Chains A and B, each alone.
Chain A
C-alpha cells in the first residue's frame, strides 16, 4: 500500500527564515510526486510535479526536490503570504490504481512578520 509521511506537522518561521519540509514516501513504482498548497477552507492549489530522482522545480521562494525515497520543499526567505498547509501526494505507475493520489497529512506553515 502506498504511504506518504510529511514532517514536521507544523512549522513556525520568522519572515526571512528559510526552512525545508520533508515528504517521505513508499509507492509501488512512482508515476509522479505532487506538491500542493492549501489555504484554510480552500481546495489544494497545485505547485509542482516531480517525476524522477534528481529532479528539481522552482517557483518564486519555493523549490522542490526528489530522491528515490523522499521529497523536500525548500522555502527560501519566506513571507507571511507563504503561510499555508503544504501537501505532498504520490501517484503510482500502475494504472489499475485508478490514478489515485495518496496524500500525506500535510505541514502547516506559519510565517510571522
Chain B
C-alpha cells in the first residue's frame, strides 16, 4: 500500500531533550515536506526537500533541523525542544512537488 508513515505518533517530552520524528514514504517520491498544525494558524510548512541531500527552509524553520540522506526518509529533528513546539506535525510527499502532496498520519508532540 502506498503510504507515508510517521513515528512516533504521540510523544511527550521535556524542554531541551533532543528528539527525532521519523518520516518514510514508499512511493519513490522526490519531494518531501514537514508541516505543523496549530489551532487558529492552520498548517504551516517547516522544511522541505526537493531530493536527496537537497533541503530548504519553509515558513517556520526556527528550532528544527532535517536531513535527507535517502530518498524514502525525511526525519525532523528538534535539538532542544521548547513548549512553543508543542503541536501536531505532518510529513508529506509528492512525486516532484508540483503535484498533489500526500500526508502522513501525524505526530502529536507535547513539550513540557
A107 to B43 CA separation, bound complex (whole angstroms): 13
Give the Cβ gap from A88 to chain B, nearest Cβ, in Å. Answer: 10
- Say which size band chain A's interface belongs to: 20 to 34
CB contact list, B23-81 vs A, under 8 A: 31, 33, 40, 42-45, 48, 50, 56, 58-59
Tell me whether A104 and B42 are in contact (CB under 8 A): yes
Residues of A near B44 (CB, < 8 A) are 103
Count residues on chain B whose CB falls below 8 Å from chain A CBs: 26
Tell me whether B104 and A43 are in contact (CB under 8 A): yes
Residues of A near B31 (CB, < 8 A) are 99
Tell me whether A100 and B48 are in contact (CB under 8 A): yes
CB<8 Å pairs between A and B, sample of 25: A34-B100, A36-B103, A41-B108, A43-B4, A43-B103, A43-B104, A43-B105, A44-B43, A44-B90, A46-B103, A87-B42, A87-B43, A98-B48, A98-B50, A98-B56, A98-B97, A99-B33, A99-B98, A100-B33, A100-B45, A100-B48, A100-B58, A100-B59, A103-B43, A104-B42
